[in-house]
Amino acid sequence: MSVRAAVLVSGGGTNLQALIDAQAAGAIPSGEIALVVSNRAGAYALERAKRAGIPGITVLKGECGSQAAFEERLEALLAEYRIDVIVLAGFLTILSAEFTARHPGRILNIHPSLIPSFCGEGFYGLRVHEAALARGVKVTGATVHFVNEIPDGGEIIAQKAVDILPGDTPEILQRRVMEQAEWILLPRALETVCASIQEGTV
């Protein structure tokens, strides 16, 4: 039986799309995207889920009232959809230590830099690329890692380097990192983790 994945999103959902496309191409044989959850109303990622026929649900922290209530709602959805593994794909809310401790080795995150550079609290989206350009590094990339209680601090699953080129803006660099690293790494990492879960090795 395939491993059931929930993808948590906040925005455009290009990484979700990479997962959907990989699944359609047969590149995630051990897993199945069974649920998409957005913490932002109207996130374009929800439209991508809809088009792929995947249930998409919005859970707003503001409406839940607290982080604990928000996470309780998430847990209820994970149970309802019988989710085995969680993928954070541009999900810009930090999960509590209590939540991550309940799912050891079962939450993956994609981060748009080579961890441990340009990561941790406050480093998300374009800010990561702005910081890399400001520091003047010549190589950046993306990292897929397991999620634990330390923001961007969990075990690294896969990384891919991407060159920074003269004239890069944060937007140009973000796009190159997505194309050359994120959209390739994330589906592969999900398949690797799903296969290990199936084999019972993790």
**Nearest residue (CB) to ligand GAR, 34 versus 119:** 119
For residue 181, give both structure tokens: 């690293």
Which of these segments, 11-19, 29-37, 60-68, 192-200, binds ligand GAR (CB under 6 A)? 11-19
Q: What is the DSSP letter of 94?
A: P
CA dihedral 5, 20, 58, 45 (to 10 degrees): 150
Determine the Cα–Cα distance for residues 104 and 170; give it in Å rounded to an integer.
Answer: 33
Instruction: Give the count of residues interacting with ligand GAR (CB under 6 A).
Output: 17
**Nearest residue (CB) to ligand GAR, 107 versus 110:** 110
Which residue type, as a one-letter code, is found at position 196?
S
**Nearest residue (CB) to ligand GAR, 4 versus 111:** 111
The CA angle 94-47-152, to the nearest 5 degrees, is 20
Shortest Å, Cβ 108 to ligand GAR? 12
Residues 133-192 that bind ligand GAR (CB under 6 A): 178, 182
Determine the Cα–Cα distance for residues 178 and 181; give it in Å rounded to an integer.
Answer: 5
Known catalytic residue at 103:
no
- Within 8 A by CB and 6+ apart from 148, the residues are 100, 101, 104, 154, 155
Applying CB under 6 A, among 105, 125, 153, 170 the residue interacting with ligand GAR is 125
Applying CB under 6 A, among 5, 6, 7, 15 the residue interacting with ligand GAR is 15
**Nearest residue (CB) to ligand GAR, 89 versus 194:** 89
**Nearest residue (CB) to ligand GAR, 72 versus 171:** 171
Q: Does 55 bind ligand GAR (CB under 6 A)?
A: no
For residue 147, give both structure tokens: 């999620």
Kindly state the helix (H) or strand (E) to which residue 135 belongs, with its residue range: helix 126-135
CB atoms within 10 A of CB 26: 7
Determine the Cα–Cα distance for residues 151 and 164; give it in Å rounded to an integer.
Answer: 25
Q: Does 99 bind ligand GAR (CB under 6 A)?
A: no
Q: Does 90 bind ligand GAR (CB under 6 A)?
A: yes
Applying CB under 6 A, among 124, 154, 185, 187 the residue interacting with ligand GAR is 124
Residues that bind ligand GAR (CB under 6 A): 9, 11-15, 45, 89-90, 110-112, 124-125, 128, 178, 182
Please list the active-site residues: 111
